[in-house]
Each structure stands twice: as C-alpha cells, then as structure tokens.
Chains A and B, each alone.
Chain A
Amino acid sequence: MKTTSLRLLAATALMLGVSAAAQAQDKATELHNRATAAMCANCHGTDGRTVEGSAIPSLVGMPKDYMVLQLKAFKDGTRPATVMHQITKGLTDAQINTISSYYAATKR
C-alpha cells in the first residue's frame, strides 16, 4: 500500500515535471516563432497589419496553405516579384512554414 502510493506519487511528480518541461519548451518555441515571423513585419506591418493604403499586402489572417504556396512560388521563381524572390531564397522551408502558420493564426 505504502509502496504503491509512493510509486504513484513518484510517477505523478515525474509526469508533472515532464509536462512542465514540455510546457516551457512550447512557450520558448512560441516566442521563437513569433520573433521569426516578426522579420516580415518591417515591410508587412507588426503582426502582418500594414498601414492604411499600403500597396505592400497585409499578411494577417492569410490562409496558411496559400501563403506557403506563394512563398515557395517566389522561391522557385514561378511567381515574379520585385524583391520577394530574393528574400524567399534565403528562407528554409521550415521558416516558410513557421511564418505562414503564425500569420494564419493571427486574428484580423
């Protein structure tokens, strides 16, 4: 009885520890992803919201699949651009995915 409860306690503590560590990792990843996406904000506005009347498009709420396709089209040259074909060639597919996920999840 005593052993069982001790074991249970140890297991619970371990689980709590693991989930706390996982939670901390999630928060760190969330922070890093936000900062990665913020690299677009210089031109596309904070959180993807451009100023009124901007010809540079807002990214806020843009569907993820669409954005991934467009960024990859810039990258492989199938979508012509003034500057985005040069920028996207510097991004990894993982970064394109991170950026697209972030703006898709950002509320308009």
Chain B
Amino acid sequence: MKRRSFVQASMALGSLGALSSMVGCASVGRVPEKARVVVVGGGYGGATAAKYVRMLSNYQIDVTLIEPNGEFVSCPISNLVIGGSKTMADITTPYDKLSGKHGVNIVRDYVANVDPAKKTVTLASGPTIRYDKLVMSPGIDLMFNTIEGLKEANASGQILQAWKAGPETLALRRQLESMDDGGVYAITIPEAPYRCPPGPYERASQVAHYFKQHKPKSKVLILDANQDVTSKGPLFKKFWADNYKGILEYMPQHKVMAVDAKTNTLKFDVQNDVKANVLNVLPAMRAGGIAVQSNLANVNARWCGVHYQTFESTQAKDIHVIGDSIMLAPLMPKSGHMANSHGKVTAAAIVAQLSDMPVNPAPFLSNTCYSFVNDKLVVHVASVHQYDDKDKTYKTVPGSGGVSSAPNELEGIYAWNWAQNIWADSLM
C-alpha cells in the first residue's frame, strides 16, 4: 500500500517535469507500466544514462537519480582552475535541466545499501526505492589507507587530492597562491589504472605555467609510480623540455608509501624522501564505495566486471555499472567522455530490455580527451572502440584514434567547446 502510493507519487512527479518535452513524441515499443530505472551517481556516466533513458524511451520510462551533490562540478577543466585560468563557476553545472527539461526525478542523498535480490536501494536518509533496472555510476574511491599518514593529512586539509573536483580544487589553488616564490609543488601519481590517465601531467603543466608567470623561482615535481608518462608521453615531455625547463621535473618509478605531515615529506618504497611546500598526493583508486560495498567490484576487489554489450554487472542481474568504476576493456581510459559513452550504450540497452526489444548487437564507444599544456595550447588523444560479439569485448579499430601532432591553439578552442558541449549533453 505504502509502496504503491509512493510509486504513484513519483510517477506523477516524473510526468509533470516531462510534460513539455513529451508533446509530439511517439512511444517506442511496449513499455511496461511498472518500469522504473534508478541511477546512482550524477557524474558524466550517471547523468547521461538518466537523461538518455528518458530521451530514448520517448519519456515513457521513469528515472530516479540519486546524487548527494547539489551541482555537478566537472573534473575535466578543473586543472585550469588550479592553474588559475578558469574559475569554479566555469566548471559547475546545475542539475535543474535534468529534472525540469527531461523529467528525471532527482533525489539528493547517498545510497546506504543495495539489495540485488530484492532489487531495492536504501537511501542514507532511510527510505527504500524498488527498481527494475539499477545503473551504478559512483565514480572512484581514493584508497587513502594505502599510503601511511595520508588519511589524516587529507582530512585536516593539509595534503590534498583534488582528484574529485569540488572544494579541494579551490583549496589546492589557494595553497599554490599562498606559497612563497621559490617553493616546491609535488604531485604523486599511482600505478595505472586510475581516473584520467593524462590528468596528473596536465595538472603539473598548469601549475608550471602558473609558476612561470607568477612565481618563476618555484618548482614542480612529478613523482610517478609508473615506468613512464602513461598518456601523451612524447607530447608532454617535449612541451616540458621546451617550455618548463628548470621549473618542472619528471621522476618515474616513485611509489609513495607514506607521508609525514609534520615535515611535509613523501616517503617512497625505494627512492629518497622528497620534501615540498605543497603536496598533492593521488593514492591508488578503486570503484566507488557503494559498488565495492554491494559486492560489484569483483575484479581484484577494485573494479566492477561488466558484460560490455549492455554494461550489466557480471555479478548481479539488472544492475548496470558504468564509468570509472568498471573493469575496462583493453585500451579504454577512465575518462568523463568514456563514461558519457557508457551511459548512452547502457541507456539504449535498458530501454530495449524494458521494452521487449533486442539489444543493439554492435554498439561502439568513442573517446576524445584534451589536455591543456598551458592556458591556451592543447593536445588530445582519441580512440574508437567497437563491440566484438565473438570475444564479448570492445576493440579499438586498427588505424583509428591517435594523438595531436603538436600542442596547438585550435584544439585549445575545441577543448573548451568540447567541455561545454559534453556538459550540455550529459546534464541539459
């Protein structure tokens, strides 16, 4: 009884929001009366999945999105806030179009529990929502406990990650602004896979650009647990040599084991200690907490295995996992663009499954990732991933994809427009 009135109430809410967009739309296939999609996480993956389930079902399937933040803050472009050429307002998009224009019912909360057997999610505030299909897009968890002393140093606000864009993005900018000229900024990178492969190198470039303009005696240290730069390596290294010589230093094979907050020192497994004025430590990452807690992270207890044609979990039926939480197919990066693409393939698969239609036998995904090497010049990496039905995975097409030939201003314009367009495509 209680459930029924709740479902009716939320259906009414959903259709109210979608009223204007529904005019003139025909229905796709047969949509069951009780179809109901719940999306956990309103980032690039989840917001896109929510919007596209609505759009691709011609607004016939009701969607509830559970997201704790009141606004979307983009990780892509956030390095420019740290470098000082963009502001938090530039990278922030409200969720109101997702609800107002697309009729997504947005619940501002955390998910406390998922029950795959009963097909329910329980919110941190108490209520339980039943679903026919659940989309999990919780992003990443930073494994602070893998580095001794980091959890406390981060909680106190001293050693920041700023890898989840938000308050720490601005806090890191403030640390750089208040650092005296002649100081050292050190960023540490965990072993791949981690969110946004070229991101740390872009950030280091942004900080070096800022120092070059405003604090020329200061230094940037990149301490990388990997053997070499993991993305766009030759492009970054050439630009650093040509433009940030004497400012930026790259050191591979530096795996952080501990931080000493009293002396702002990094301790490595082999190499000597490094002391810096501003420490930016990126620990190892894994699937978002709620995915791990729900036993969906069945690959090395870190990433969620999925059937790539539909992104349905290999662990639980009717739960689809997308974005940075998943165990990726070969050569797929953990990126916002990729998560947006996952969201669309998943939305189409869910609409098909809930409408008794066949799922697309040959979906494909694309990725374009731009990195700013200063405030204007950009390099990209692009790839196309076609689903291979025989091997049940995505494969890059030989000869496709690639990187920029050199940093260039034209792609600086495209990169900013890419950001604006993908924010609109995911959220508006």
Contacts and interface: CB of A to CB of B under 8 A. Distances in A.
Given A28-B352, A31-B28, A90-B397, A95 B414 contact: no
Given A28-B358, A87-B400, A95-B364, A42 B421 contact: yes
B146 interface: no
A97 interface: no
Contact of A55 (B351, B356, B396, B417): B417
A56 to B, nearest CB: 5
A88 B399 CA distance: 10
Query: Which 6 A/B pairs are nearest by Cβ-Cβ distance?
Result: A90-B384, A90-B400, A35-B348, A89-B400, A90-B397, A28-B357
Interface string B326-366: 00000000000100110011011001100111101001111
B402 A42 contact: no
Contact of A86 (B365, B385, B386, B402): B402
Contacts of B410: 82
A21 to B, nearest CB: 11
Contacts, number: 130
Nearest to A91: B384
Nearest to A37: B344
Nearest to B346: A35
B261 interface: no
A15 B338 CA distance: 44
Interface residues of A, number: 32
B422 interface: yes
A63 B29 CA distance: 28
Contacts of A95: 364
Interface string A82-107: 11001111111001000000000000
Nearest to B345: A35
Given A36-B364, A46-B424, 13 more contacts: A24-B356, A31-B28, A31-B352, A34-B56, A36-B360, A41-B344, A42-B368, A50-B421, A54-B417, A54-B421, A86-B400, A87-B366, A87-B382
26 contacts: A28-B29, A31-B29, A31-B351, A31-B352, A34-B56, A34-B348, A35-B345, A35-B347, A38-B344, A38-B348, A39-B341, A39-B344, A42-B422, A43-B417, A43-B422, A46-B425, A50-B417, A51-B420, A54-B421, A55-B414, A86-B383, A87-B368, A89-B401, A90-B366, A90-B386, A92-B386
Interface residues of B, number: 51
B145 interface: no
A89 B399 contact: yes
A89 B368 contact: no
Nearest to A47: B55
Nearest to B57: A31
A44 B366 CA distance: 13
